[in-house]
Amino acid sequence: MAEPRSPLFLERGSYRQRRWMDAIRLLVILGVVLWMIPLLWPSGEAADGSISMSRALLYIFGVWVLLIGACYGLVRRAQTLPDSADDGEEA
């Protein structure tokens, strides 16, 4: 006789927590993409459209600060989610 199968769907709380953790993992990819954008900027050899080094550094550190803030917010949100399906709803 076959063993009883586990439920196909996850509980609401654990599902949401996993999706928040996926968002945190995608934040790393977003950070890499944003940090690669200065590589596409025109170099200092082009006299008319070049970006100064100070602007590039401000961009890099601005992205860095935004990533830290976003990661902090996502982690705090993921930690406050309930672990069970008890969202005040009756089954």
The 10s digit of each residue's pLDDT in 26-74 is 999 999 999 999 888 887 665 567 788 888 899 999 999 999 999 999 8
Q: Give the pLDDT confidence score for residue 36 in this predicted structure.
A: 93
Token pair for 15: 């599902």
Position 87 in a domain: no
Residue 47 belongs to some domain of the structure: no
Using CA atoms, how far apart are residues 1 and 30, in angstroms rounded to an integer? 49
Total structural domains in the chain?
1
pTM over 0.95? The answer is no
Asked whether residue 60 is domain-assigned, the answer is yes
What are the CA-CA distances from residue 34 to residues 9, 38, 82 (Å)? 35, 8, 32
Domain that holds residue 25: 12-38+52-80
For residue 91, pLDDT over 50 is answered with no
Lowest mean pLDDT segment, chosen from 10-14, 31-35, 60-64, 78-82: 10-14
The pLDDT value recorded for residue 19 is 85
Q: Is 85 within a domain?
A: no
Whether residue 4 is contained in a domain is answered as no
Residue 44 lies in a domain: no
Q: Give the Cα separation of 19 and 26 in Å (integer).
A: 10
Per-residue burial over 3-31, b = 16 or more CB atoms within 10 Å of its CB, e = otherwise? eeeeeeeeeeeeebbeebeeeeeeeeeeb
Residue 46 within a domain: no
Distance (Å) of CA 81 to CA 54, 61, 69, 78: 41, 31, 19, 6
